[in-house]
Amino acid sequence: MLVAGRAFKEAKRSLDQQVAHLIARYGARILPLHCGEMDVSSADLRRMAMEGKNIGPYVPGEVAAYIRRNRLYQGAEVSIN
């Protein structure tokens, strides 16, 4: 699993602490992404895709194309430009 951090006011653990917890508890393979924070959640991206809005600034073009091609999120058209 790839994970990326973002600001969260009420976090009980840091990203590194949460990763360590999940690895210890579930034996998960988790790799943190080292990238700039994005002020968008996965729920926001799904909503944007469902509404046909451009998700290109937030996901690789191949991901947006896959979402469009497979008509994910209720078959909405997804802009990748």
38-55 residue pLDDT tens: 778 888 999 999 988 889
If asked whether residues 52 and 29 sit together in one domain, one would say: no
Predicted TM-score (pTM) of this structure = 0.52
The count of domains in the chain is 2
If asked whether residues 45 and 31 sit together in one domain, one would say: no
If asked whether residues 32 and 45 sit together in one domain, one would say: no
Mean pLDDT (whole number) for 14-29: 90
Q: Which residue has the higher pLDDT, 6 or 15?
A: 15
If asked whether residues 45 and 79 sit together in one domain, one would say: yes
Q: How far apart are CA 79 and CA 56, in angstroms?
A: 7
Where helices occur in the chain by DSSP H, the ranges are: 15-26, 42-50, 61-69, 72-75
Predicted confidence at residue 76, as pLDDT, reads 46
Predicted confidence at residue 80, as pLDDT, reads 53
If asked whether residues 1 and 32 sit together in one domain, one would say: yes
Q: How far apart are CA 12 and CA 45, in angstroms?
A: 25
Per the CB < 8 A criterion, the answer to whether 68 and 80 are in contact is: yes
Full residue range of the structural domain in which residue 64 is found? 40-81
Q: Which residue has the higher pLDDT, 35 or 58?
A: 58
